[in-house]
Structure formats: structure tokens, C-alpha cells
A and B are shown apart, each in its own frame.
Chain A
């Protein structure tokens, strides 16, 4: 077990910089998820930690030692690949023991480790089968088992659930979390699925264009995103962004959305945004769950308004509503009993206690 550190790590392919100088410290036992859209450099970063890609600049440290020039086999890491990468000619047991056999572990020890890992992953009955006789979920378990038996310093997961169907993905997600709770090995996990990132991670690293946008716990990223990219990437449906401006009205600060619509800011927010220039072009960032049907009794900081719905999406436990505001499409979440209908007007309320204000030009959250 060990901590992993990246110091100004750069990866260049000819002219293109895939990873542009990232700094990251992963603590011992920590589960860190690298998340971002495709091409953001997250997989490249993982492969550099694994030693499968050379680094163009900077340092990678595992357990305090610089491993820039250490070959993968001497880094004491184990990796789980998106497409499983099981050896097709070997049985499950042979697949799992391959690394140990290469290192000439005693047979009894190998068997004990395989048995334990197989029990942990619930694949004890499959131990003599070949990969082609297994389902996708079973193959991924074997791939995890192959990593676990090695008892490495660091686990690396490269989009391990992307090839599974939605239901199995949820199941395997829980499985991965359980395994980490048991073995507590430092884990770096790459995914493009923000739900996986949120549910699995101790800390999430959001990457974009080869840079780290923000590092934080899932809750921090969700409630206090640093940039528009993070705000829109984390959370589903995504955060709404409505063009707006700040203005003073009767000594109080308010946010103006349209000619007819302006909301006074709650005191905590007003003091935070006081210094922003009134002429700046801004975006009001508000998550769908903070745009709901207006209730009879309005809380402080919650402002009612009327909207005509474009589309409604009944989800069962809630109904997603979409309407237009100042040219921006806004999504809200209302109760299934709120009477939301396509094309019909509805009295809504926005919870400004949970609002964000972003600079439209820089994308920074203010």
C-alpha cells in the first residue's frame, strides 16, 4: 500500500499535449476517481502511473519513490482494463495466478490467495472455466481477482464498467466499493461516467483538455464547483445556466434574468456577491432540484415565478420539466402530483440559497 504523487506531469504526442502539467497527491488507502470527457487525458494519466506510457516531463512517485523510469512490472501495481484483457487460453485460476507464477510464489500461497480472492468476488465455482465461458460481469470479476491476488501497492482501473449493461454496472459498482472497503488498497479509477465518480470516490479529480479542473470530495464538487465545466459535468440532469445581471434595488442586491423577472438575493448570497461589478455578464447556475413547484408556504430565499413548460418527462418518483428563460433552456424537478403538463403554465419556485453565480466569459464560479 502506498501513496501516489504526480508532480507537473506532462505527456506530449509529437505536437499535441495530451496531459498539460498536472499535480495530484493521492493518499494511502484513498480511492481517487479521474473523470472527464473523452480526450481529457484521464486514461493517459492512468497509463503513465502504470508505466504503460512514458512521461514527457515531471515526476510520478509511488510510495515516495520516483518511478519515471521504472518498468511497469517493478512498480507493484495492478490494472483492470475496460475490455477485461483476460488471457483467453488460460482458466480463471491460471489468469489470476499468472503474475504470481511469474514471480515464482510457492504453490500453496498462490492457491490460498486465489481462493480468498475468488470467495471475495463470488467466483469460486468458475475457477476452472475459460474466459469465453463467462459473462461480461463474470469476466470483469476475474479481471479484478487477477489484480487482487497480486496484493499490489496501487490498483488502477481503466473504465472497468464501460462494457457492461446499465444494470450490471450498478451491481459491479457496489462490488468494487465493497472490495475497496475490504482490501483498502490505494486506488486510481478512470471513468467518463460522473455517477460512477460520485458514488465510488473518496475524492474526484475532474479533468478537461489535459488539465485538472478541480479536485474534491463528491459533495464538494457537487455543491461548490470551481468552474462552469465542473458545474455542468457533475450532476444529472446538468446544472442550468441562465444569463443574468446583478442590480441594486432599494438598497438590496437582486439578480435580473429578464426585463420582467428579477429575484432578490438571500442575505448570505448578497454579501458574497456585493463586490461584483453590476455591468458584468453573468450566469445564474441553478441545479434542477432547486427549481421546483411553488408550495403554499414559501421559505426564505425561495422565490416563486410563473413559467410555461415546453416538455415534461415523468420519471415516476419525480417529473422533469423543461422551459425557456431568456433564451436558455431550464430544467426543473417537480413532484409527479404538481400537475406539470406539456405546454401548460405552472407556478414554480427557485431556491436561491443554493444558487451559483458564474462569470460568463471566464466560466469561473464567483
Chain B
């Protein structure tokens, strides 16, 4: 993404700013310099993963140039994509992420609307409280949470631990507070007159939310969706703790637990799995980025 932007902007900017002051020319050069460093820094790991994923195990362990593939092979891809186990991980990850995103949005959007617009007693404190819960690290939470589910299962006999759907209860503790916070910010940027106009036009609070706020705050909604999806897709600690059977694992944990056997690391397949795992968020970003950037509030009010 980043490199593309630079290529596009480069020539036109040079022409456009041909006569600009030296200061600005230098500022631009420096920004390109740092952008290039930035791009190299962040693109090196995925490139290395791609290279490794195209090598056979023998070539990986051989003392050759690690940045070069002498005999490229798709064996790793074929092995993973034909493995029922890997497809199961992928499916678990997908279903968990999609459901978590849905649950998160169903909770976070109305919560943010209530906290930002329906002024009620304690709404400000509640708003801050929502954000504070996000600040508690998961490493502190996973043991008490585990205990909680154990107690729950003792009381009710309903076993949630070591079931993929236990994650549907846990991930929202990470995603809901942050998404609520993002949406509060977006809703707050919508001019007050817009909901007043809707109320006078005869809309209920719910209609104001669904017909005015959600469409107008779509960029925010998409940002929150991307966030919730990324968090659920990449979550590692919670699924590692709460799920153990191979048919219940999600991809990040599945790859690690099945492709590392004792001290034997199947690097080729690990890299391939990681690359394949990174694809869905990447595709989602690519599709939603334009919406995300487009400012939909333009024209609502003056300015």
C-alpha cells in the first residue's frame, strides 16, 4: 500500500511544487527518505516469509543464501491446503472472527450512540469506564477468566472450556470497549443538529441511529470492524489457554501446536501458514480502505 502511494504521488508532486521554496523541497525529500526506511522495515518480514515458504525443508536447512530461492516449490502450500486439519483451523478462525465482529458491532454501536448522544446520569463516567476496561492487559485476565468458566461449568454443567465458541464470550472483552470508544469519537463528530433534524422529522432514537448515524459514521464503523476482525483473527493467548483439542483450535494456535513437534520446527509450513493466515485481514483492508478514507460527513453542515 505504502509503496504504491509514493509512486503515485511522486511525479505529480514534483511538477506541482516545482517552484516551491527550498524548505518544502527538503521536507519532502526527508519524508520520502523516512517513508522508504519505514517500508523496508515493515515489508522485510513478510518478504522473508514468502521466500521461506517457497523453499523445501532441505533447502531451508542448507547453508545457502537465505534471501534467495534456488529451487522454488509449492509443496508447502499444497500440503497445508490439502490438510483437513489446517482447513479446520482456518474455518474455526473465520467463524470465530465473523461472529465476534458481529457481536461486537451489535453491542458497541448502540452503546456508543447512547453514551455520546443520550445524555443520562453517569454517561460520562460510564464512557471513561468502558475505555479503562480496555487498558487491563489480557495476560492479567486470562487466569481469572479461566477460573470463571470453570466455576460456571461446575454450577451449570455447561462445558465451555475447550470449545471454539468459548472465544465468542472472551474476545468481545477486548473488542467491545475499544470499538465503543472509536464509535463514540465518530458519533461525537456528527453535528448535533443532524439528530435534532431527524427527531423533528419524526425519527425515533433507533431510527436516528440506523438511518442517520450508522450511514454517516460508516468510515468509523469500518475502522471498528477492521479492528475487531484483526484482533479476533490474530488473538493468540486466549485460544492457547482456552482451547486444546486440535478440532477446536484457531489458526495462530493451530499452526504453532501442530507444526512445531518437540524441537522440530517445520519452518516452510509455518511460514506458509502464517502467510495464508495473514491473507484475510489483508483482503479486508484492501476492500474497505477506500470507504475508510472517504469522508462521508462532507456537506452535512457548513464547512
**Cβ proximity bits B217-253 to A, threshold 8 Å, 1 near / 0 not:** 0100000000000000000000000000000000000
Report whether B201 and A85 are in contact in the complex, using a CB–CB cutoff of 8 Å. Answer: no
Shortest A73–chain B CB gap in Å is 4
The stretch of B24-32, B36-44, B295-303 in contact with A is: B295-303
Shortest B271–chain A CB gap in Å is 43
Report whether A136 and B302 are in contact in the complex, using a CB–CB cutoff of 8 Å. Answer: yes
Shortest A291–chain B CB gap in Å is 40
**Cβ proximity bits A294-337 to B, threshold 8 Å, 1 near / 0 not:** 00000000000000000000000000000000000000000000
Report whether A83 and B302 are in contact in the complex, using a CB–CB cutoff of 8 Å. Answer: yes
Which residues of chain A have C-beta atoms less than 8 A from B63's C-beta? none
Q: Closest residue of chain A to B218, judged by CB?
A: A89
Which residues of chain B have C-beta atoms less than 8 A from A82's C-beta? 193
Report whether B196 and A88 are in contact in the complex, using a CB–CB cutoff of 8 Å. Answer: no
- B192-209 residues with Cβ-Cβ distance < 8 A to A are 193-194, 196-204, 207
Report whether A81 and B196 are in contact in the complex, using a CB–CB cutoff of 8 Å. Answer: yes
Q: Is B215 an interface residue (CB 8 A)?
A: yes
Cross-chain pair count, CB within 8 angstroms: 86
Which residues of chain B have C-beta atoms less than 8 A from A102's C-beta? 201-203, 207
Which residues of chain A have C-beta atoms less than 8 A from B196's C-beta? 50, 52, 72, 79, 81, 85
Please measure, in the bound complex, the distance between the C-alpha atom of A114 and the C-alpha atom of B79, giving whole angstroms: 63
Shortest B116–chain A CB gap in Å is 17
Q: Is B216 an interface residue (CB 8 A)?
A: yes
Report whether B201 and A73 are in contact in the complex, using a CB–CB cutoff of 8 Å. Answer: yes
Q: Is A112 an interface residue (CB 8 A)?
A: no
Which listed residue, B199, B216, B296, touches A73 by the CB 8 Å rule?
B199
- A102-156 residues with Cβ-Cβ distance < 8 A to B are 102-103, 130-134, 136, 139, 146, 150
Report whether A81 and B203 are in contact in the complex, using a CB–CB cutoff of 8 Å. Answer: no
Which listed residue, A77, A79, A131, touches B300 by the CB 8 Å rule?
A131
Which residues of chain B have C-beta atoms less than 8 A from A99's C-beta? 200-202
Please measure, in the bound complex, the distance between the C-alpha atom of A86 and the C-alpha atom of B301, giving whole angstroms: 7
Q: Is B191 an interface residue (CB 8 A)?
A: yes
Which residues of chain B have C-beta atoms less than 8 A from A163's C-beta? 302
Interface residues on B, range: 20 to 34
**Given A83-B302, A85-B194, A163-B302, A50 and B200 touching (CB < 8 A)?**
yes
Which residues of chain A have C-beta atoms less than 8 A from B212's C-beta? 87
Please measure, in the bound complex, the distance between the C-alpha atom of A139 and the C-alpha atom of B301, giving whole angstroms: 9
Report whether B298 and A79 are in contact in the complex, using a CB–CB cutoff of 8 Å. Answer: no
Please measure, in the bound complex, the distance between the C-alpha atom of A153 and the C-alpha atom of B215, giving whole angstroms: 30
Number of chain A residues close to chain B: CB under 8 A: 32
Which residues of chain A have C-beta atoms less than 8 A from B202's C-beta? 73, 99, 102-103
Report whether B203 and A73 are in contact in the complex, using a CB–CB cutoff of 8 Å. Answer: yes
Please measure, in the bound complex, the distance between the C-alpha atom of A326 and the C-alpha atom of B204, giving whole angstroms: 62
Q: Is A98 an interface residue (CB 8 A)?
A: yes
Report whether A133 and B199 are in contact in the complex, using a CB–CB cutoff of 8 Å. Answer: no
Report whether A85 and B199 are in contact in the complex, using a CB–CB cutoff of 8 Å. Answer: no
Please measure, in the bound complex, the distance between the C-alpha atom of A103 and the C-alpha atom of B201, giving whole angstroms: 9
Q: Is A233 an interface residue (CB 8 A)?
A: no
Interface-central residue, A87, A130, A139, by most chain B CB under 10 Å: A87
Please measure, in the bound complex, the distance between the C-alpha atom of A112 and the C-alpha atom of B197, giving whole angstroms: 22
Report whether B199 and A52 are in contact in the complex, using a CB–CB cutoff of 8 Å. Answer: yes
Which residues of chain A have C-beta atoms less than 8 A from B218's C-beta? 89
Q: Closest residue of chain A to B303, judged by CB?
A: A83
Q: Is A78 an interface residue (CB 8 A)?
A: yes
* 9 further A-B pairs in the complex, CB-CB below 8 A; given A52-B199, A98-B211, A133-B299: A71-B199, A73-B204, A78-B200, A87-B300, A88-B296, A88-B298, A102-B203, A102-B207, A136-B302
Q: Please list the 7 inter-chain residue pairs (A to B) with the smallest Cβ-Cβ separation, ordered nearest first.
A: A132-B299, A99-B201, A85-B193, A83-B301, A131-B299, A88-B300, A73-B202
Identify 18 residue pairs between A and B in the complex whose beta-carbon atoms are under 8 Å apart, listed by A's number.
A52-B196, A78-B200, A81-B193, A81-B196, A83-B301, A85-B193, A85-B196, A85-B301, A86-B301, A87-B194, A88-B216, A89-B216, A98-B203, A99-B202, A131-B299, A132-B298, A133-B299, A134-B299
Residues of chain A whose beta carbon lies under 8 Å from any beta carbon of chain B? 50-52, 71-73, 77-79, 81-89, 98-99, 102-103, 130-134, 136, 139, 146, 150, 163
